[in-house]
Amino acid sequence: MSESAWNPQSWGSGAGQDVDVRALRRYNRLLGVLLNVGEWACIGLLPFVAVAAIWLVTQTNFENVVFYDGTDSICIYDGTTGEIRNVE
C-alpha cells in the first residue's frame, strides 16, 4: 500500500485527543434546532402558498393581453371588460 493511500486521520476514527466532544454535542444540538426551525417554517408557509395559488387561479384574469409593436403606442386588452385601452 502506498503512503498516499493510507490516511491516519479519517472521519470514522474519533479516538484522538484532538476531538472536542462538547463542541460536537453543541454542533449536533445546533443542527437539531435548525432542522426544527426549517420544518416549522415549511409547515407555516404551506397555507400561505396554498391560499396564494388558489387566489391566483380564481381571481387572476389570464385573458389580459399587452400589444406592443415597437412604437410608442402600447395597448392593453382587458379581458373582464372587453375593452382595449392605450397605456401612456
Q: What is the pLDDT of residue 63?
A: 78
The pTM assigned to this predicted structure is 0.49
Query: Locate cell 402558498: which residue?
Result: 49
What is the 3-class SS of the chain, one letter each residue?
A: CCCCCCCCCCCCCCCCCCCCHHHHHHHHHHHHHHHHHHHHHHHHHHHHHHHHHHHHHHHCCCCCEEEECCCCCEEEEECCCCEEEEEC
Query: Residues 28-34: what's their mean pLDDT?
Result: 97
Q: For residue 34, what is its C-alpha cell? A: 435548525
- C-alpha–C-alpha distance, residues 55 and 28, integer Å: 41
pLDDT tens for each residue of 37-77 = 999 999 999 999 999 999 999 988 777 788 777 778 888 88
For residue 54, the one-letter residue type is I
